[in-house]
Amino acid sequence: MTPEPRETQIRGACPLDCPDTCAWIVTVENGEPLSLRGDPAHPYTRGSLCNKVENYLAYARSPDRLLYPMRRSGPKGRGEFVRISWDEALEKIAAVCGDVAKKYGAEAILPYSGSGNMGMIQGIYGAGDRLWNVLGTSRGVYTMCTIAGAYGTGYTLGDNGVGMDPETLCFSKLIVLWGANVLSTHPHLWRPILEARKNGASVVCIDPIRTRTAAASDWHLAPIPGTDAALALGLLHVVLKEGKEDRQFIEERTVGWEAFRERILAFPPSRVAAVTGLPCESIVELGKRIASTRPTGIRIGIG
């Protein structure tokens, strides 16, 4: 009988809250992970992992990794904790929740969680949902980050799951990276961007900060933080003045155009320049490029 190989390769995906979702292969021996590498067969991420995750096994093995419930045993900020049992932790949490619910009502409890690791029982994908439901606590969408942007996208575009297929960005002739530090936070998108650039595309980055992406782009516009909406209206103002709006699309696919048009017309580039701190000529120049370049790819960063 042939002995079972002791070493196996397990295919998986990076669980971090990142749009790239890199595929990886973990080599495991006797149940212990030996090495981790990107999966070259994955068509989008092509075998490369970012610096943050290349040493992921070191995180997994770190003695600092939280594996058990810990209770603070000293003043806040001193980092003094003692290990407690799961039963003790559950009893403590249940007692606190019970006390608050009794004294103020269950809605005084506000569940909040983020999504550092993605998974069906973690973060925004349902951790504790049934419990909160049974308790009758206040309900929110947990994270104030991506979800806020996603709701905005939903109200504006009709669905918060929309966005362009990242691999089609390579066909764009103008690429606008708006509030998206792609090189640091969505690194695999840089490949289709470089491909597009080789074919003559120009890359514009809109970001108040001179990020790595901004520095690597052909043109960086740095509006005052929080003035993006005014900038968008100003760019659309230029598009309207150029007569380049897509009338057919507007008529067939949108609602509320007249009200939106009025709003756009209230934001000429001179006003937008005062709001955003950008030169008026830059707003006109980018508006004209957006109006006249086909296809244009816009990657927005939300959150």
Asked whether 302 and 146 are in contact (CB, 8 A), the reply is yes
23 binds ligand SF4 (CB under 6 A): no
> Of these, 36, 50, 150, 174, which contacts ligand SF4 (CB under 6 A)?
50
Task: Tell me the C-alpha to C-alpha distance, in Å, between residue 302 and each of 157, 185, 299.
Answer: 14, 12, 10
Determine the straight-line distance between the first and last CA of the chain, rounded to whole angstroms: 57
183 binds ligand SF4 (CB under 6 A): no
20 binds ligand SF4 (CB under 6 A): yes
Binding residues with ligand SF4: total (CB under 6 A):
11
Span from 16-24, 144-152, 155-163, 249-257 in contact with ligand SF4 (CB under 6 A): 16-24
CA distance 272 to 283: 8
CB of 52 to ligand SF4, least distance (A): 5
177 binds ligand SF4 (CB under 6 A): no
Nearest to ligand SF4 of 183, 221 (CB atom): 183
Nearest to ligand SF4 of 16, 101 (CB atom): 16
Nearest to ligand SF4 of 14, 193 (CB atom): 14
Nearest to ligand SF4 of 59, 151 (CB atom): 59
39 binds ligand SF4 (CB under 6 A): no
- Give 221's contacts (C-beta < 8 A, 6+ positions apart): 204, 205, 206, 207, 231, 278, 282, 286
Helix residue ranges, H only, the chain: 51-54, 56-61, 86-104, 129-135, 146-157, 182-185, 190-198, 212-216, 228-241, 247-253, 257-265, 269-276, 280-292
